[in-house]
Amino acid sequence: MHFLRPLLRSPSLTWILVAAALAVVMPRAVHAEAVLVVEADTGKVLQADNATMPWYPASVTKIMTAYVTLKAVKEGRLSLDTLLTVSPVAASQSPSKMGFPPGTQVTVDNALKMMMVKSANDMAVVLAEGVGGSVDGFSGMMNQAAQRLGMTQTSYVNPNGLPADGQVTSARDLAMLARAVIRDLPEYEYFMHIPSIRYGRRVTQNFNKLIGRYPGADGFKTGFICASGYNLVASATRNGKRLIAVVLGSSSGQQRAVRAAQLLERGFGGGLGWLKPALGTVDNLVPVDATPPNLREEMCGGKRKRPATDEDADVLAANGNASAGESAVTFFTAGLQPPTGKPSDLLAAAAEPSEPIPVYTGPTKTGAALIAVVAAEAEKQASSAKRGKKSKIAAKKPGAAAPKAEASAKPAAKPAAVRHASATRDAAAKPAASAERKPAAADKKPAAKPAAAADKPAPKPAKPNAAAKPKGENKPAG
């Protein structure tokens, strides 16, 4: 390297090399977005962009809801088998939710699984009221926990992340929270990476698309409201090294997952880490005093109308940020090691097959009792679906009857020569129907025969009436 020293003494060349290094290392910014990658055990920051910018948390709030609840379980204030009741407040929450009516009981264990996988807003309130007595009481517990963990940019108003004034966090604080979950609740960490749940016949996949797709993915939670964009706190472990990636303000559920996978790939590669300036540890990042960016117009404005839910219907076949050029950068920054696969390709594939974890209402059940309650709920859902189909068919019948009424009006317009046979119309209905399909030439002859035949049957019924005179049928006739 000694032959490069004269060249490196040139200030202009030095700046060119620095700019080239930054061009390789720094990601392209498309729109308002905050990203952060840290080592889980040491808190060392590997990459940070807008990491201390205040942000609306959306459903990543539920990581703290789970943390406070599981800390209460660990301290013995309640258990995973404790039954909690769905209140009217919980039942009134906006989707995504389980939709149980007030009075329904559910265990802490099942409520946590529903909240973390389906992002059920009603289950977050059920847990909040069960642990803290009320939403306000539990929010106070969440804020106390945030202060203890050094999350100086975070404030909670509710346990589910639905839009509320004062509900704010940052990528820095979320990474600190994820580290606390790993450190303080290792025995309950499986709640953070359940691939799917089954409620009766309904199977819900985890909204975190890294779970079951990205090698080593093992946490945590997604979130979305119009103001925040698509958020994700993710983690993955490779060769004994665990990283935490935070992505806030992404443009879709697929995009936030691809972005997190790219960040994790770079973090695990680390071959050219010497090109990056030392960023210290996550708790030493300096907070930015600003107002959280509001992405409502970008996320939900115009034709891009979306509900305030974490359920993402977008499936992107290709991703703008996962271009061939960026793949080459990832390959380069990974220390010239072959990549595990293009993130967009990994996340577009189907998740690894896994057995959904059953969830249910009522007390804890195991063995045959668990199988029975799951089967009963599946049957209930099937019956409800059948009733729904029948009601739809019944609703269509009045509209379907209108054409029949119009068709029945046509015979009323027949010639008067045919009307006099109305007394025998019902008996002759089937022959008449079959005759309608005969050729027009054949229709003329039968048209004359029924008229003559209708005259002859008239005296025939009179004979049976005459034979019936001894039985006293003359009186009704008189």
Q: Which residues contact 314 (CB under 8 A, 6 or more apart)?
A: 252, 253, 254, 255
Q: Which of 218, 221, 184 shows the shortest CA–CA distance to 71?
A: 184
- Choice among 62, 71, 118, 209 that is catalytic: 62
The β-bridge partners of 205 are 196
- Choice among 96, 119, 139, 251 that is catalytic: 119
What are residue 196's phi and psi, to 5 degrees? -165, 160
Which residue shows structure tokens 């920054």?
Answer: 333
Residue 119 annotated to the active site: yes
Helix (H, G, I), strand (E, B) or coil at 471: helix
Q: Which of 62, 68, 80, 167 shows the shortest CA–CA distance to 119?
A: 62
Which residue shows structure tokens 């010497």?
Answer: 274
What are residue 15's phi and psi, to 5 degrees? -65, -35
Residue 62 annotated to the active site: yes
Q: Tell me: cis bond preceding 96? Omega within 30 of 0 counts.
A: yes
Residues 276 and 25 sit within 8 Å (Cβ to Cβ): yes
Alpha carbon 11 to chain centroid distance?
A: 54
Write out the DSSP string of 136-154. HHHHHHHHHHHHHTT-TT-
The answer to the question of whether 221 is labelled as a binding residue is yes
Catalytic residues: 59, 62, 119
> Which residues carry a binding-site annotation?
221
> Which residues carry a binding-site annotation for substrate?
221
